[in-house]
Amino acid sequence: MNQKNNALSRLIAEQGIVTAPGVYDGISARLGEEAGFSALYASGGAIARSTGVPDIGLLTLTEVVDRVRQIVAATSLPVIADADTGFGNEVNVKRTVELFANAGVSAFHLEDQEFPKRCGHLDGKSLVSVDEMCKKVSVASKYAGEVTVIARTDAIAVTGFDDALDRARAYVDAGADMLFVEAPQTIGQIEDIAKQAPGPKLINMFYSGKTPLVPTEDLKAMGYQLIIIPSDLQRAAVTAMREVLQVIRRDGNSGAIADGMMTFQEREQLVRTKEFLNP
């Protein structure tokens, strides 16, 4: 990364590649740290869906930052945040960057979709011009300080693979520290991004999306430095909640599925109740 000295940059320098699972609240962040990960991804899509709405740009900047602040407070790990489109033009980006930096993130990514955006693996996306996105990246770089600026392009699904690479190069020239070319659809595209896009690169790896799953060591060998897995944790949680709800509706309690639940004591340990009651 371009001379950044935050916790995420140091991790990548030490490990070569870092995997950050997607979290969306304080307790999922705590679980990610407990599981032994070295960084976390504050997934904008998962945050949106946790409020009961889709990932199509419905939440406001302050709603997202409030949740990101809770995530950062719940963990000692570096957090990569999803800053969507910057919530407006380059004027809005300045405030967006300042709020995310004040929340304590180590990195954030901005994307080149028109506002309101869509989940990167939904159809029907549209893009801002290269010039407009470069202005956003330049402003973000100016005000980010030691926070890593990741520029994301959604061009593969809109204007094609070659344009995605051209945009990626332009965003690096505008000041991006890392690139995120969203939703490659083949192993060949994943390899070509690694070879042809300049500088450090992030890749999105989640089950059932448009991008084929590739083992971490293979991605590292290709030249990727950061992997995010935005929605898998939330989808697993939703599945588990449905199962428990079915048992409760059938039996009036959750006893039949108790082996699949943490105990009361385990939950209180996770949220560190004793630390609060015995400061």
How do residues 56-68 score in pLDDT, each as one tens digit? 999 999 999 999 9
pTM of the model: 0.94
Q: Supply the mean pLDDT for the chain.
A: 95
Active site residue 119: yes
Active site residue 41: yes
The pLDDT of residue 241: 97
Q: Say if residue 129's pLDDT is above 60.
A: yes
Place of tokens 């009651």: 277
The pLDDT of residue 120: 62
Averaged pLDDT, 189-198: 98
DSSP string, 38-77: S-EEE-HHHHHHHTT--SSS-S-HHHHHHHHHHHHHT-SS
Catalytic residue (choose from 69, 118, 119, 121): 119
Enter the tokens of residue 184. 């490659």
pLDDT tens-digit series, residues 239-276: 999 999 999 999 999 999 999 999 999 999 999 999 99
Catalytic residue (choose from 49, 111, 154, 171): 111
Find, among 175, 150, 16, the residue nearest to 79 by Cα.
150
The pLDDT of residue 142: 97
Amino acid at 130: V
Active site residue 55: yes
Averaged pLDDT, 22-48: 98
Amino acid at 170: A
Enter the DSSP assignment of 127.
B
The pLDDT of residue 195: 97
Find, among 74, 29, 72, 22, the residue nearest to 48 by Cα.
22
226: burial class by Cβ within 10 Å (0-12, 13-18, 19+)? buried
Domains observed in the chain: 7-230 (3.20.20.60), 239-277 (no CATH)
Q: Assess whether the previous peptide bond of 116 is cis (omega < 30° from 0).
A: yes
The pLDDT of residue 1: 46
Active site residue 204: yes
First-to-final CA distance of the chain? 39
Active site residue 192: no
Radius of gyration of the chain (CA): 19
